Structure 1
C-alpha cells in the first residue's frame, strides 16, 4: 500500500463503539493436529509485513501478525521464523507517522525522519539472508506476476539480488522456500488501491483487478504453495469501508463545521465518478487525508467556497461515492468467493478477516478490551487509518490461529492481546 499522509481532525468525527462478542477460544493441549508447522512462511502485502502508521519500521515488523503466530506455533512443533528486519541503527525504516499531540480531541501527526533505512534517495537498504515473512507492502495478486513491478517496488527491491531485478516476479520469489505450512493474505490492494484513490485509476497500483483474472492468478498462487502437499491458511479480503480511512471525515461533520462559520451552508457538494455534481449523502465516503489538503471552504477565483457550492465541488478523487462503494464491495465479494471456493477445494483453513473486521467496525470486546475501528482511539488501526496497530495485529493473528486450529485440529495457543498497544499516545 502507498505511504499515506494523514490529517488532524476534530474529536466529534471519531466514533466510539463497543459491544460484546464471543472471544476466540484456545483448544486444550499442545498438538499440531494434522498440520506441520516446522517451517512456516507468510505470503502477503503490507499487512503481512507489519507496515503501520504510513510506513515500514522495525517495531511494526516485529509485531506483524505472522511473527506473533510463529511464536505461538513454537509450542506445537513450529521452527524459527525469520523476517527481513531493519537494523537497530536504521530502525525507523521508511519513516512513519507519530502522534505528537492530542489537544481537545484534535491530533497532530508528524513524520519520523531520523534513523531511516535508505541507501540512497529512493532505495531502502538491502536485506540478505533467509526470509520467511514474505509480506511486501503494495503487492497485489495481479502485480505478483510482474517482474517489472517487483523491481520498482522499494520493499521487494530490497529483498532481491541485482541479478533478480527485472527478471524475478513476486510469484517466483516466494517459491523454493521448502515450507511445510503457509499463510496467504493477498488481494487487499487489488481493491483497496482503487478505493483509496477515490475510485480513480491512474496507474497499475490503483486499478480494480478483473474478477476472472483475480480468480485465475490467485489459484496459481495457491497451487504453487500447495504443490508439495503443504497445508495452510488463507485470509479473506476485508471490506474496504470497514477502516477509519473511510469513516472518519464524514459528510455530516464537514457540514456541521461549515455551518459553525456560515449557518446558511446547506450541503456538501461532490463530483462523482460519472462527472455528476450533487449534494453528498452519508453513503458517500470521504478519504481521511482530505482535511490535510487544506481545500475545504477555500474560495476559488469566482469566490465560491470549495465543497460548499455546486460550481466548486469536492473533486472525485477525494470521495468514494455511493456508486463506487457498491462497485468495490461487489469486487471484494467476488474475490472472497474465489478465495473461499479454492480453499475449500484444497482443504485449506480460511481466516475470515472480512467478517471479523466488520465486527470490529461495530465494536468488539476481546480478552476484556474494547476494540473498534475509530480513528486513533479504537485500538485496532494505526495512524494511517488502514494498517493495524500492534494490538490489531494480535487480534488478527488470533483470527488466523482460530481458523488453523479449527481446520487441522491443532492447538496453537492464542495471543494475549493485552500485551500489545494500540496507537501510541504522546507522553
Structure 2
C-alpha cells in the first residue's frame, strides 16, 4: 500500500459562500422622508496630499494566498486613497501585477503560486486545479513596473526588513539563504539596494499608514514553531519600530498605525480540527481494526512504562484525533524499543502485518523512533491549514527509508501514513507552549506599537481587538456579521491569513474612524465610510 488517500482536510468547512450575505435592514426614514443632511466632508488638520502606505502583505493587497491585480485594487491603502482624494489627496500608485493569476516568475520559472479559489462546496484549491494549466505573466526579469509607489506593502516582510539594504536586489534571490524579497525586487528599479523606508521617504509623504509586525510572529506560527523562522526579538522590534516612526514623522508627516492580531485566532490555525479522522470515510474506516491492533500492542508497552497518557486508539463511532509528535514530551524511544525486543511474542505479532521475524529488532527500533514523542492531538493543539492536505497521505521520505530497511512497499506504506501511523511533525502543529510564545511576543510588539503611536500623536487602530471579536462573537459592520471562519466568515480569504476585499474594507473604515478621532476629519459623520456590501468575498476562477 503506497498511499492511503484519505486527505481529510477541511471537513470543518460546512458551506462556502460565493457571495457573503446577511439580513439587511431598511435604512429608509420613517418620519415622512425628512432626514438631516450629512455634513460636508472635511480633512480636519490632516494633510492627505501625498499618502504613502508601509507594511507587509496585509498592506499590499495579498489575498487568497497570492498577489494579483484585483486584490491589489481592493487593498485597504488603495481604498483609503479614494476617500483621501475627496479632500485633497493626490494620486496613488501601486506596483500592480500583470494579471489576476497571482503567480510570479523568475526568468520563466514560477517562484510563487497562483491564487486560491473556491468552487462550490469544496475546499479552496489553486487556480490551475479549477480551470486547468495557467501561466502567470509577471516575471521579475521582464516586466517590473516603474515607481515610485505609494503602496509600499511588501508580502513576507518582517519589521526589520523595511530597513534592510539589498532587500530588493535581484542578486539576493540567488544567495543561500536568500537576502532579497521578489515582491520588493519588482519595486526598487534603478536603486536595487534602497530600503523600503528610503523609497517611502523619497516621496516626501504628508500622511502615512504603518501596519507591520505580523510576519515577525507569523513565520514562526505557519512553520509550526519548528525553528525555521524564529520569532523576532521584542528588543529588536522595539528599536526598529521606534526608528521607522521617528523617520516617517521627521518631515512633519502625520499618520496612522495598526497593531497585530493574535495570528493563532486566524482560520489558518483553526480551520483544520485536531480530530478530522472520520470513521465513515471509506478510505479510513475499514482500516480502524488493523490500526487498533497495531496501537493496542504499543499501548501495552505504554502500560508497562506507566505512561497511559501516550495511549492511542481510533474510534469506530466518532471522529478521532490525529497522531502528532510533541517535542516537549519525554523521549521514550529507547524504552519502547527495549520492551518490544524483550517480548518473545513480538515477532509473531509482526507476522500478521507481513513482517518477517528477522526484521523484528529493526522494526522495534523504528517504532521506538516513531512513537518516542508521539501522542494523540488534543483540542488545545492547533493544526496549520496546510496540514489538511498532508493528513492521510504517505510520507514519501519515511516510506523510502522503510523500504531501504527491507520492508515491503505495502508494509512501508502502512507505517508511513501522516497523522495516523506516522506522527505529524512539528511543522504542521502548534502545541500550547508554542501558542503561548507567539501570544507573548505579539503582546510585546503591540505594547511598542501603542506606546510609539501615543508618543508621536498618531492615529491608532486596534486590529487585535477586531480579530478577537470576529473569533469570539462576530464583528458587526453595516448589516453584516463577520466571523473568523475560513471563507464563510466573510472577512478572511481562502488562505486563512489575509483579508478578503470586505476584510480590507473593515480595516479601511476603522482607519478612517481613527483618523477622525485624532485629526478632526469627519469621514464617519459625513457618511463616507465604505459599504462592505459593495465588495466581494471571493474572486471567480474566471476573473480576467
Tell me if both proteins adopt one fold, taking TM over 0.5 as the criterion.
yes
Q: Is the 2:59–2:211 Cα contact (8 Å) retained in structure 1? A: yes
Match of 2:12 in 1: 12
CA displacement at 1:33 relative to structure 2: 1.3
Q: Pick the structure with greater CA Rg.
A: 2
Change (3 A) 1:109 1:350: same
RMSD over aligned Cα, in angstroms?
2.9
CA displacement at 1:188 relative to structure 2: 0.7
Change (3 A) 1:125 1:10: same
Larger mean CA deviation between 314-323 and 264-273 belongs to 264-273
Query: Which runs of structure 2 are paired with 1:98-113 in the superposition (5 Å)?
Result: 98-99=116-117, 101-102=119-120, 105-107=121-123, 109-112=125-128
Match of 2:152 in 1: 134
| Post-superposition CA distance 1:259-306 (Å, at most 9, x none) | 855375064321134364332211111011112235458796384453
**Structure-2 separation of matches of 1:257 and 1:29:** 61
| Post-superposition CA distance 1:230-283 (Å, at most 9, x none) | 110001011101211001101133466778553750643211343643322111
1:198 to 224, 227, 243: 224
Change (3 A) 1:277 1:98: closer
**Structure-1 separation of matches of 2:279 and 2:213:** 37
Q: Is the 1:283–1:321 Cα contact (8 Å) retained in structure 2? A: yes
**Structure-2 separation of matches of 1:168 and 1:260:** 57
Match of 2:55 in 1: 44
Query: Which runs of structure 2 are paired with 1:142-157 in the superposition (5 Å)?
Result: 142-151=160-169, 152-157=180-185
Q: Is the 2:64–2:117 Cα contact (8 Å) retained in structure 1? A: no
**Structure-2 separation of matches of 1:70 and 1:282:** 43
Change (3 A) 1:318 1:35: same
**Structure-1 separation of matches of 2:258 and 2:394:** 41
2:425 to 305, 311, 315: 315
Change (3 A) 1:294 1:52: same
Match of 2:403 in 1: none
Q: Is the 2:62–2:68 Cα contact (8 Å) retained in structure 1? A: yes
**Structure-1 separation of matches of 2:15 and 2:468:** 15
SS in 2 for 1:182: strand
CA displacement at 1:409 relative to structure 2: 1.4
Query: Quick check: 1:335 aligned with 2:445?
Result: yes
CA displacement at 1:173 relative to structure 2: 2.5
Query: Quick check: 1:287 aligned with 2:378?
Result: no
SS in 2 for 1:232: strand
Length, aligned pairs only:
402
Change (3 A) 1:159 1:288: same
Query: Which runs of structure 2 are paired with 1:35-114 in the superposition (5 Å)?
Result: 35-87=46-98, 90-94=99-103, 96-99=114-117, 101-102=119-120, 105-107=121-123, 109-112=125-128, 114=134
Query: Quick check: 1:306 aligned with 2:418?
Result: yes
SS in 1 for 2:445: helix
Match of 1:23 in 2: none
Change (3 A) 1:260 1:368: farther
Change (3 A) 1:82 1:148: closer
**Structure-1 separation of matches of 2:214 and 2:241:** 12
2:314 to 261, 265, 269: 265
Instruction: Give the alignment's TM-score, normalised by structure 1.
Output: 0.86
Query: Quick check: 1:422 aligned with 2:422?
Result: no
Query: Quick check: 1:350 aligned with 2:445?
Result: no
**Structure-2 separation of matches of 1:169 and 1:333:** 27
SS in 2 for 1:370: strand
Change (3 A) 1:324 1:100: closer
Change (3 A) 1:244 1:169: same
Match of 1:181 in 2: 207
CA displacement at 1:357 relative to structure 2: 1.3
**Structure-2 separation of matches of 1:318 and 1:348:** 39
CA displacement at 1:91 relative to structure 2: 4.2
Change (3 A) 1:211 1:273: farther
1:375 to 456, 461, 486: 486
Change (3 A) 1:355 1:114: same
SS in 1 for 2:53: strand
**Structure-2 separation of matches of 1:124 and 1:242:** 39
Instruction: Give the alignment's TM-score, normalised by structure 2.
Output: 0.68
